[in-house]
Amino acid sequence: MSTPIPSVSITNTLKEFELAYGKNVISCYDNNSASPLFVCQIYDSGSTTATFDVRQFCNLAGYAHFDIQNLLKSQLGYLDNIETITRITTHSNEVYGYQAKVGYVSNDVVTLQASSSTRYVLPGRKAVTEVEWNSSDYLPQLNSSSALGVDTMIVYTKQKALTDRHIESTTGAAITDGKPSFVGSGDTVWKIEVKRGNDYTISFLNDWVNFVNGPPRYHNGIATFLIAAYSGSTELYNSQLPNTTGNGGGPNTLSSGQSGSVAPEYKVLSVQVGNSSQPLGTYLSTATHVYVCPAAWGSGNFANYSDLSDIYRIDITDCEGRDFDTYQVSWINSFGFRDYFHFTKRDDNVNNVTRNTFKKLDADWGGATISVNSYDRGEKVLNQMLSDEYTINTRYLTNVEMGYLKNLILSPDVRVKFPGQSTWVSVIPTTNQWTSRTFRKDKLFQLTYSFRLANPIQLQNG
């Protein structure tokens, strides 16, 4: 009786968008029960050469489960200059697009029999019990009425930004000061407090789900960002920031040409809505709040647009009389992109110098006489190192804000903008513990955060 030829299929494939830090499992099964040596190969998006090749035998139930999270993590990184982008930026280091192919190995020959469509992974983290990331809140659900002969966009549900800062919300109808026409009465508006002069970026997935009738011919994701600034009820600025390569986005070169595929590097877009934004930043010295929302063209003539996300409102506040200088902190959030907070209360700076010394003779013993000068050294500094350490404090926090700042303690990549400075400095956190605090048990509470400079001042040797 001949051995059956394996027929390997994928029984569980990863969703279109996943987070790398957590289980990323591809499962396969041999339908002919040959129980071969299974193989899973990972291909970079658009490549015909495998980047990774992993192999294993099936379990007792006949299935082979490949957890490829460590392979995916190795392909991801973080942008170094996102805090001070002037308009839009894409994420070539922070989005990895790939295709998985499975099959079997016989006599060192690989036979591939099934494959997934292109998948995208972000450098975010999942809960231990979360096998699949639920991305539905971060992708808009869209439809086209083109089947009715009218090529018009319909947005069923809106997406959220890739931020953990969903703390305080209101509705468009409840806002009584200045607001643009793209803020509808029923829109959810998320409020974010930012100190005047601070930078602030917000990131969005550039994709969609649920085209019932097929996409409009002119649509391939976010077409533009709607941005408006107000001083009270007075409008200072209201314009669109098209998602084009000229503005730092892409893949489109013209705002009127929304077609073609979206490469992995364009699957997440971040937009600057803080002090570094151009031309918005020129209005922020007097502005009280800013609105931002990504949008798709609502019809083929590019004259109309449809909001793709909830509205984000940046409330710009000034320091209070008892505030100290403002330290703005930026960190990698749970999705793998940037979040921010400002520390406005007491700050302390301690410089610790570590010295290595050696002892030398205090006189010249090779001469005709012995003499010891007052300036001669018996002990000398060989080298020294400075540790520049800071401790900063927030204002009093709400329960939800304290939970939000837990992500700062967990972050592997933290940067700080010091008072009066325009540049961001990489730091190493020395606060390694987060304690849950609530008003019920702690009354008024703050977060104290400590760090040292990742690149301290170089000191001279002795």
Q: 243 with 374, same domain?
A: no
Residues above pLDDT 70, as percent of the chain: 94
Mean pLDDT of 131-152: 81
pLDDT above 70 for 301: no
Q: 345 with 270, same domain?
A: no
Q: 262 with 337, same domain?
A: no
pLDDT above 60 for 156: yes
pLDDT above 60 for 215: yes
pLDDT band at 302 (very low <50, low <70, confident <90, very high): low
pLDDT above 90 for 35: no
Residue 304: its pLDDT value, please?
Answer: 73
Instruction: Calculate the CA 2 to chain-centre distance.
Output: 54
Residue 145 lies in a domain: yes
pLDDT above 80 for 132: yes
Q: How far is residue 281 from each of residues 212, 405, 418, measured CA to CA in Å?
A: 40, 26, 19
Residue 71: its pLDDT value, please?
Answer: 97
**Residue 119: beta bridge partners?**
98
Token pair belonging to 39: 């193989």
Residue 149: its pLDDT value, please?
Answer: 57
Q: 280 with 298, same domain?
A: yes
Residue 379: its pLDDT value, please?
Answer: 75
Residue 440: its pLDDT value, please?
Answer: 76
Residue 459 lies in a domain: no
Mean pLDDT of the residues in the chain = 90
Q: 253 with 142, same domain?
A: yes
- Final residue belonging to a domain, choices 317, 350, 376: 317
Q: 159 with 271, same domain?
A: yes
pLDDT band at 459 (very low <50, low <70, confident <90, very high): low
Residue 50: its pLDDT value, please?
Answer: 96
Residue 1 lies in a domain: no
Q: 394 with 347, same domain?
A: yes
Mean pLDDT of 262-267: 95
Mean pLDDT of 65-82: 95
Please, are residues 329 and 404 in contact by the beta-carbon 8 Å criterion? no
- Final residue belonging to a domain, choices 317, 336, 357: 317
Mean pLDDT of 327-349: 95
Tokens 């403002």 locate to: 326
Q: 365 — phi, psi (to 5°)? A: -90, 5
Please, are residues 285 and 246 in contact by the beta-carbon 8 Å criterion? no
DSSP string, 164-191: S---EEEEGGG--S---TTS-TT-EEEE
Token pair belonging to 443: 């009354």
Q: 182 with 62, same domain?
A: no
- Final residue belonging to a domain, choices 293, 317, 341: 317
Percentages helix, strand, coil for the chain (3-state, rounded to 5) are 10, 40, 50
Three-class secondary structure of residue 148 per DSSP: helix
Residue 300: its pLDDT value, please?
Answer: 61
User: Which has more pLDDT, 319 or 29?
Assistant: 29
Residues above pLDDT 90, as percent of the chain: 69
Q: 226 with 333, same domain?
A: no
Give the pTM: 0.91
DSSP string, 12-53: E---SEEEEES--EEEEEETT----EEEEEEEETT-SSEEEE
Residue 462 lies in a domain: no
Residue 3 lies in a domain: no
Residue 289 lies in a domain: yes
Residue 89 lies in a domain: no
Mean pLDDT of 305-312: 92
The β-bridge relationship of strands 224-231 and 234-242 is antiparallel
State the first-to-last Cα distance of the chain, in angstroms, to the nearest integer.
83
Q: 210 with 275, same domain?
A: yes
Residues 160-204: pLDDT tens digits?
999 999 999 999 999 999 999 999 999 999 999 999 999 999 999
Tokens 């090529």 locate to: 151
Q: Could you tell me the residue range of the domain that residue 28 belongs to?
A: 8-84+94-125
pLDDT above 80 for 257: no
Tokens 């996300």 locate to: 309
pLDDT band at 150 (very low <50, low <70, confident <90, very high): low
pLDDT above 80 for 264: yes
Domains identified in the chain, total number: 3
Q: 352 with 437, same domain?
A: yes
Residue 274: its pLDDT value, please?
Answer: 96
Residue 82: its pLDDT value, please?
Answer: 94
Please, are residues 172 and 183 in contact by the beta-carbon 8 Å criterion? yes
What is the rounded CA–CA span in Å between residue 268 and residue 202?
10
Three-class secondary structure of residue 455 per DSSP: coil
Q: 180 with 218, same domain?
A: yes
- The overall longest dimension of the chain from CA atoms, in Å, is 109
Residue 461 lies in a domain: no
Residue 224: its pLDDT value, please?
Answer: 93
Mean pLDDT of 5-24: 94
Mean pLDDT of 285-304: 85
